Amino acid sequence: MVGGRAEGSRAHHPAADLRVAQPGHGRADQPHRRHQGRRRRRAHRGPARPRPRLSAQGAVLPGLRRGRELHGIPRAAGGGPHPRRVDRLHPPGAARAAGATSALTRGPGAFFLHRVRELVRRPPVTCPASASAIEVARLLTREHVGSVIVVDAGGAPLGIVTDRDLREKVVAAGRDPAGPVAEIMSAPLVTTRPAAFAFDAMLEMTRRDIRHLAVLDEDRLAGVVSARDLLAEAATHPVLLGRDIIRAVSLEALAGLADRVTALARDLIEAGTSAYDLGQLVAELNDRLVVRVLGLTAAALQEAGAAPPVPFCWLTFGSEARHEQTLRTDQDNGLVYADPPPELGQASTDYFRRFAEAAIRGLVAVGFPPCPGNIMASNPLWCQPRTAWKRYFRRCLDEPMPERVLGAAIHFDVRPLSGALELGAGLVELVRREAPAHRLFLALLARDVIERRLPLTLLGRLAVPRRGPDAGTVDVKGGGTMQLVGAGRVLALELGLPERNTLDRIRAAAARGIWPETQAAEIADAGQVLMRLRLVHQLAQLGRGQTPDNRIVPARLSRADALLFRDALRTIASVQQTVRGRYPEGLG
């Protein structure tokens, strides 16, 4: 959070006690008559092995059956019989929010599950706003720190001055070193809380391209955490990796940095980081890779004597726009440019097509595969002036046809990434403002969600093909993730929600009354399970030198993981039912 206030909800995740099922509560403990014989037959084999289930909080709860009452106990007081599997596929807020347990305390990325309070090793160094740059430089040297918090007469933090500020804003700029530091401090202050995770602090630094966060305990300044504090414990620091990306001078260098992003993702997923948080971080780094490729492309054209005739904006679509692209999956992008005057019309068309084609080649060289459906800015259909893009979106809304709507669905997850961002933001606002009034369009989107089959039998078990090229595998993307993503998209468009990430959309829809909060938490947990299964599978494939795909082998999953997968799919089925109830006309 900025401006001396406590950080926002994204950066603070309160610790959650692990909840376990207590026997003797609720009707679920009284077996149905038709199960009594089965249980008697089991008696000679001893007690049945507990069957883990996914709770609303996301923890794996051995022996939990519907109807049992849950009692919160501290994490240290108990644990399930599958500790290694709990951390491997934990949803948000389970192992991460409960603390570092079992395998979460091992591995290169485990440090990021520690709390910020563990990084604060000394009281903050402060100075008044009237202090001179010379005085602050001496203070930094005397205290052996890299930053000083500037405070007012009452001790309230106003901003921060770093050794880098002194070098760049005073020495290099030729500023009078006797002047007050209030003129060069960075303000408002970006802060975090002692209870925040090191991962969240690192993510905030990466997003804002900064190296220091002030730590506020309530309204009291408790200290400063720096990128160096994180780097001392972490082998690969995303803030520094992000800066290396920005400074890269060739596509070859960017390709090497893209490999480091993948390695970082592997470290963090092995440490138990949630797929949601990992997606946020890796999306930030992937964004920087794309932006740097665009910068190198523009510079190369500039050297060749070509410059953009009018402002433009690079657009991302699909999973990249939703911040759900945890690996370098296929490109989905476009380009919008300002409507040129008539005399620049052809020149604009020629330049931006040339730019887009070169940029796509650069992205492929860095490691982002081309889109099989050609949804890329190099396709003239997706490299258009603003008026053409508006006409396209309005035609989708006003004249919906099944083929057109399905083909356009990906474009309704759009995010402006680089350039004149207001051009892309205008398209986003147009969709958010006008989509809720187009019921037929929304119903066609809903139909796709409803009609996509899940890999479940009529009895709710995993349906795994036994023959054919896909025998023994399940498409976790097409058989679960896409249904949830589609539901989040149609609800966001119906309600005019600004959220782009699917899990954020689910929570926002709950806040608008679509689901109770507890059910929304279960849905979000199910999404996390699917995302994590897919990610673990793809990272393993990359480790074997294979091309990542979405087809997991259920037979290779542990019992706990298989049950999590099954229960996640059942939850997604309930999401389909919700969409079906809201759009019965989507069934026609």
Residue 501 domain-assigned? yes
Q: Which of 135-149, 228-242, 400-414, 505-519 has the lowest mean pLDDT?
A: 228-242
Which CATH number is 153's domain given?
A: 3.10.580.10
pLDDT tens digits, one per residue of 27-44: 333 434 444 444 444 443
Identify the bridge partners of residue 551 per DSSP, sorted by sequence position. 475
Residue 184 and residue 131: Cα distance in Å, rounded? 11
Residue type (1 letter), 472: G
CB atoms within 10 A of CB 341: 10
Same domain, 424 and 285: yes
Average pLDDT value for residue range 388-407: 91
- Look at residues 436, 463, 491 and tell me which one is the last residue of a structural domain: 436
Same domain, 281 and 402: yes
CA angle 567, 573, 579 (to 5 degrees): 145
Residue 575 domain-assigned? yes
Could you identify the residue written with the tokens 């008539």?
Answer: 342
CB 55 within 8 A of CB 93: no
Average pLDDT value for residue range 67-72: 28
Identify the bridge partners of residue 347 per DSSP, sorted by sequence position. none
pLDDT tens digits, one per residue of 200-256: 888 888 888 888 999 998 888 999 998 877 765 554 567 778 888 998 999 999 999
130: confidence class by pLDDT, cuts 50, 70, 90: very high
pLDDT for 52 beyond 50: no
- At 70 the pLDDT is 27
CB 354 within 8 A of CB 306: yes
pLDDT for 270 beyond 70: yes
pLDDT tens digits, one per residue of 427-463: 999 999 999 999 999 999 999 999 999 999 988 899 9
- At 346 the pLDDT is 96
Residue 125 and residue 118: Cα distance in Å, rounded? 18
Same domain, 422 and 447: no
pLDDT tens digits, one per residue of 162-215: 999 999 999 999 999 999 999 999 999 999 999 888 878 888 888 888 889 999
- At 232 the pLDDT is 59
Chain centroid offset of residue 81 CA: 30
Same domain, 340 and 394: yes
Q: Which domain holds residue 345?
A: 238-436
Q: What are phi and psi of 310, to 5 degrees?
A: -140, 165
Which CATH number is 463's domain given?
A: 1.20.120
pLDDT for 313 beyond 70: yes
Residue 265 domain-assigned? yes
Same domain, 275 and 409: yes
pLDDT tens digits, one per residue of 487-529: 999 999 999 999 999 999 999 999 999 999 999 999 999 999 9
Share of the chain above pLDDT 70, in %: 79
Residue 380 domain-assigned? yes
Q: How many domains are contained in the chain? A: 3
Same domain, 315 and 365: yes
Average pLDDT, the chain: 81
Q: Where are the beta strands (DSSP E) in 376-451?
A: 383-385, 414-419
- Look at residues 408, 436, 464 and tell me which one is the last residue of a structural domain: 436
Same domain, 410 and 518: no
Residue 242 domain-assigned? yes
Residue 88 and residue 98: Cα distance in Å, rounded? 14
Same domain, 446 and 505: yes
Residue 49 domain-assigned? no
Residue 32 domain-assigned? no
Same domain, 176 and 211: yes
pLDDT tens digits, one per residue of 81-100: 333 333 333 333 333 333 32
pLDDT for 536 beyond 60: yes
Residue 2 domain-assigned? no
pLDDT for 347 beyond 70: yes
- At 208 the pLDDT is 87
Same domain, 423 and 469: no
Same domain, 289 and 408: yes
Q: Which of 42-46, 80-84, 297-301, 422-426 has the lowest mean pLDDT?
A: 80-84
Which CATH number is 244's domain given?
A: 3.30.460.10
3-state class (DSSP) for residue 61: strand
Same domain, 395 and 467: no
Chain centroid offset of residue 304 CA: 38
- Look at residues 390, 411, 436 and tell me which one is the last residue of a structural domain: 436
Identify the bridge partners of residue 147 per DSSP, sorted by sequence position. 162
pLDDT for 51 beyond 70: no
